[in-house]
Structure 1
């Protein structure tokens, strides 16, 4: 067509494009110096902690501690155990402070940014003189010496280190859900609608791990200007706000020329494993999370040697501790040959001083039964103990293999001395194979537990402690050399009365050799011994059993008849009709089924000692006591009991009371200004 403004020229057409240029210079992040005149630099390590990995936190502090640096520790409001244990450090070291205002943060929640801002405000109230604040979690660990970090930061004072998503802004906005309005309420991020982002603002983000200068931190935590006032409104209703707020404030403020596209971290991303929508229970979105480093990932850390990366994540000693020891050697630790229990790892599951300890009904029921089992073993050797209090329960790993749980408990010995004992126990393994079936030899894992972590492909419930209110999951793994793929197999869940509770179908293929099945079962589950069988055309391939432990107490009080009749009655009325499914030699016959139903009806009525006897009979079938020791302080009073000689816990390799220098805060060395572990 002829141009409306100039008829002598032609314009328009099917593929017409308009190209505009803003005239603004393209943003280029600052390049930090690698060499220069070094000087003193003071760092605040802002530790934002969750969970119960106390010994790993001690290990992290040991690696970073110098008397000229600071530690500001925020412990999640719900984590009473960690806060109580770390409060001791505040009294011992003037450069360690715990946050007094604590938040209950969730993955992706607005509360995480609120916590970071509140913590950074506190840094100025403490009158500390510092040059950088670096936020770390319990799953971070340094991958270069502290001296390397100090030298790097000292020649780059005033710069701010954040990690950007890259160039595609719109794609990042969509992926992060920044164009959606979220509200955090009752530990959940609710998506409530669409929204338009403010015009004239460059949206940026990528990672919530940062290293910031005091000038910029003072700006974002101080008196708000128009930019910050607007960003506060936007990010109050933003998913994953800590991954974007600091970046966006940097890009749009007078600090834009201090922006460095590097958060000093290397992160172990394995997208196929880490992007499983595992946070659906806390957020109306599907996010991703990095994986734990294992020894197989060591080359990724080695490859950072010549790069400006000083920390890595994630590390979990409950998953793999060997990689952490290797990293320590990599950054200059040379004391490993002097450390006792180098390959041991203990992590607290329960402590009597926890605010919620009295209502941990399943764990206390289970542990009480284990130590009663132990008391019977001692009584057979002429030693009488009266158990009256469980102090702590730990999980125990050695050389990255789960070795069982440890129960620290008080007891009265032979009606006289009060002692503290620790009992070591582990679940018995149970798998029954039908090697007449060609698939049986290809099965590597076939077990039931709860708290399955899709990202790490393990059960977090290491001891397989399940009760009527638990949600069991079956994990299976076939060998990669499996010949027959693409075959449909049947999974049958049998309750303690012999009724089929659920049936699942598994399709075996190359992408499905390791997977989990969550049955469609309503709670409460019927207490007792459950069975799960895997079948090919109703021919058994493999069978496993698992225990649903009856509860001895409810909300910290002994179970009443009325509560027992509700909690222990199961949900058999909710089962579907599976009468058409008749697996060979798996279901009890009619007479046995009637007997099992009668026994179950009788068990429902059990309370007090009668209930304990039932629980103990089930527990002894599934768990073995492996060892027993006594607290060193009690050895002065008693070394043996009847025909039983007590071991000293502090000299016993498996005990949580034995020395663990790597997992304890070291002794301050005035010469080196650091903590010595030996």
Structure 2
């Protein structure tokens, strides 16, 4: 038992006290003592473990556990040559490709129809963060690669939607060709002790109804080494064959055990490679750099999807450019995580610097919120505030003199618009009178003023991403709010005595609350007063005030709308809203026409002669979903 215990902790030596029953594990000993001890394999006393800095004053028996560190160092085995690579993208988390999230699946399917080397997995899984189905999804994809597609490949590189290449693919291919049959897997020996003792590793998990349930205690497999690390790997074809089809006792046991484990891909491949005949094909590196901030990234941010906590990298921003300076001469080909809704500047910088792409005329970044081909449930799922904005744009379009009178109008798409990670507004695409499609762009006319050098940012919203300190919904528009969240981030620590002051549209102070500056996440929940009069509908303000000097450190404004204001006759087409209230916060920035043969990959052409001249074609507007984007020109 002592030998197996120390083996799991990746310790080469196990020391068992015959009289006390104590088991001690060590990785490093005094070289002279070790050679003498193991030469005769007997009990000894008063020996020194130089990695523990203490003596053991008892008689123990010292055993080898059979653990040998492997996977360190890069040593090319062959000259560069031509190989084939498979990039396996697993889309999960808040951009989940679930059964009821049809939009992304539909758009990716269009790519598969156009390119023979892009294929969707036959079976879709709910790969929610930490779920046991993650490993099942990966093994199914490997079967599809080998059995159905019969692709001739050397490596499979698993990637998430937030990974990004930082070197040309030719360099990656040349590098991997020099390491045939190697497996690039990040395994952290120093992290094994912490992981083995965690409740997540010692528990049985079952994924059911889109939630990861913790059921009870789990026993470890005897006489093997457990390893833990990143779930993003580069695996050789031979090893993929082994983990997918292998039938020995080890791999059968691992496949069964990890089907009931949280975060299975963070240990399954690592444990399989180090305990199998592939242990000499193991390189402890996955050729990517990760933006870790343990203080912000290691939280229980996913309690809504599972009974566990965990860590996740934070998003790279333009201020992180210096971090890439040291990767030029290192075997690093990818980085994570990136998110264009948070900072697209860093992505464009890599595109221009590494790949020489001119992005001066590229499209703005759009994120789809609704498509007419989605189920009605999807439309019902959008926020009440966004529905009120859509109602406003619909009303303005119907009242436009060029379209009046309008017999019918149908919503086709909604996109959020971002420019270099800064939220700009929304676009709404409509079909009018069953003939012509038009897209309307409304921009957010919100103001944030920072008056103090100590304030980094001030914002307001509902759901916040605490890792990257941004709100998921950045519209600053609220429909009959009960509770709002205020984010205020400081550039440096301060003992400032501050208050939040909230004023209604007429400038009357409605709420003033003293706030303490938190140590970790700088957010405060504010109870919102009940909307009782029409005077409370409109643009509100929030000030961050210094109580000591009675001066404003920062301020912002936001829009309040009410259900009572949205008159209805049980028919969405008969909804109405006071456009004068919304127009100040969401002014219309442009209207364009959509030609029926237009798509995101279309080239620019002549205007439709039937459309009024002051309304341009959508493929001439960077904010439109129909603008030709240089980034799609592969």
TM over 0.5: yes
How many angstroms apart in 2 are the aligned matches of 1:199 and 1:240? Answer: 21
Q: Would you say 1:279 and 2:251 are equivalent positions?
A: no
Aligned equivalent of 1:288, options 311, 315, 319: 311
CA distance 1:359–1:469, change in 2 (3 Å):
farther
Partner of residue 79, structure 2: 37
CA distance in 2, matches of 1:11, 1:157: 47
The structural deviation recorded for 1:398 is: 2.7
Instruction: Tell me how far 1:300 sits from its aligned partner.
Output: 2.2
Change (3 A) 1:652 1:23: closer
What secondary structure is seen at the aligned counterpart in 2 of 1:466? strand
Q: Is the 8 A contact 1:369 1:619 kept in 2?
A: no
1:450 aligns with 462
Q: How far does residue 205 in structure 1 lie from its aligned partner after superposition?
A: 1.6
> Following superposition of structure 1 onto structure 2, how do residues 83-482 of structure 1 map, counting pairs within 5 Å?
83-126=105-148, 127-175=150-198, 177-331=200-354, 333-336=355-358, 341-342=361-362, 344-355=364-375, 356-360=377-381, 362=384, 365-375=387-397, 378-379=400-401, 384-385=405-406, 388-412=409-433, 418-430=435-447, 445-468=457-480, 472-478=484-490, 480=492
Following TM superposition, by how much is the alpha carbon of 1:223 offset from its aligned partner in structure 2, in angstroms? 4.7
Find out whether 1:636 has 2:608 as its counterpart.
yes
Equivalent of residue 625 in structure 1, options 574, 581, 588: 588
Counterpart in the other structure of 1:71? none
Q: What is the DSSP-based 3-state SS (H/G/I as helix, E as strand, rest coil) of the residue aligned with 2:329? A: coil
Q: Tell me which moved more, 30-39 or 196-205.
A: 30-39
Cα distance, 1:342–1:617 mapped onto 2, change above 3 Å:
closer
SS at match of 2:343: coil
Find the partner of 2:495 among 482, 486, 498: 486
How many Å apart are 1:129 and its aligned residue? 1.6
Q: Deviations over 1:38-64 (max 9, x none)?
A: 2221111111124798xxxxxxxxxxx
Whole-Å separation in 1 of the counterparts to 2:544 and 2:350: 42
What displacement does 1:143 show? 1.6
- Map Cα deviations across residues 189-236 of structure 1 (whole Å, 9 max, x no partner): 223333332221100020001111121111111153221232233212
1:485-517, Cα deviation, whole Å (9 max, x unpaired): 4244344678999999988642248x57x7222
Question: Separation in 1 of the partners of 2:513 and 2:333?
Answer: 47
Point out the more displaced range, 84-93 or 417-426.
417-426
How far did 1:258 drift?
Answer: 1.1
3-state DSSP of counterpart to 1:20: strand
Measured at CA, do residues 154 and 382 of structure 1 come closer, stay the same or move farther in structure 2, by a change above 3 Å? Answer: closer
Q: Is the 8 A contact 2:317 2:346 kept in 1?
A: yes
Structure 1 CA distance, aligned partners of 2:325 and 2:618? Answer: 39
1:152–1:401: structure 2 CA closer, same or farther, 3 Å change rule?
Answer: same
Secondary structure at the counterpart of residue 255 of structure 1 = helix
What is the DSSP-based 3-state SS (H/G/I as helix, E as strand, rest coil) of the residue aligned with 1:238? coil
**Cα separation, 2, equivalents of 1:128 and 1:216:** 16
2:66 corresponds in structure 1 to 24
SS in 2 for 1:397: strand
Kindly report which structure 2 residues correspond to 1:26-65, keeping only aligned pairs within 5 A, or say none: 26-29=68-71, 31-34=73-76, 36-50=78-92
Contact 2:93 2:128 in 1 (8 A): no
Kindly state the Cα deviation for residue 658 of structure 1 after the two structures are TM-superposed: 1.6
Distance 1:607 1:442, change over 3 A: farther
Q: CA deviation at 1:116?
A: 0.9
Match of 2:8 in 1: none
Give the match's secondary structure for 2:435. Answer: strand
TM-score by length of 2: 0.78
CA–CA separation in structure 1 for the residues paired with 2:341 and 2:566: 37
The SS at the match of 2:400 is helix
Give the Cα–Cα distance (whole angstroms) in 2 for the partners of residues 405 and 431 of structure 1. Answer: 19
Closer/same/farther in 2, CA of residues 52 and 83 from structure 1, 3 Å limit: farther
Structure 1 residues 253-288: Cα deviation after superposition (integer angstroms, max 9, x where no partner): 221121111111111112222223322222222211
Gap change, CA 1:249 and 1:317, over 3 Å in 2: same
Q: Per the alignment, do residues 305 and 176 of structure 1 end up closer, same or farther by CA in structure 2, a change over 3 Å counting? A: farther
Contact preservation (8 Å) 1:346, 1:656: yes
Separation in 1, partners of 2:45, 2:70: 36
Provide the C-alpha distance between the structure 1 equivalents of 2:204 and 2:94, rounded to a whole number of angstroms. 33
Preserved CA contact (<8 Å) 1:525 1:548: no
Note if contact 1:549-1:615 (Cα within 8 Å) is conserved in structure 2. no
Structure 1 position 157, deviation (Å):
1.3
The one of 506, 511, 524 equivalent to 2:515 is: 506
- Aligned Cα root-mean-square deviation (Å): 3.9
Q: CA deviation at 1:77?
A: 3.4
| Native 8 Å contact 2:299 2:311 kept in 1 | yes
Q: Indicate the structure whose relative CO is greater, using CA pairs within 8 Å and at least 6 residues apart.
A: 1
How many residue pairs align between the two structures? 568
Extract unaligned runs of 5+ from structure 1: 54-73, 434-438, 552-567, 569-602, 667-674
Mark the CA change 1:259 to 1:352 in structure 2 (over 3 Å): closer, same or farther: same
Q: Does 1:612 align with 2:612?
A: no
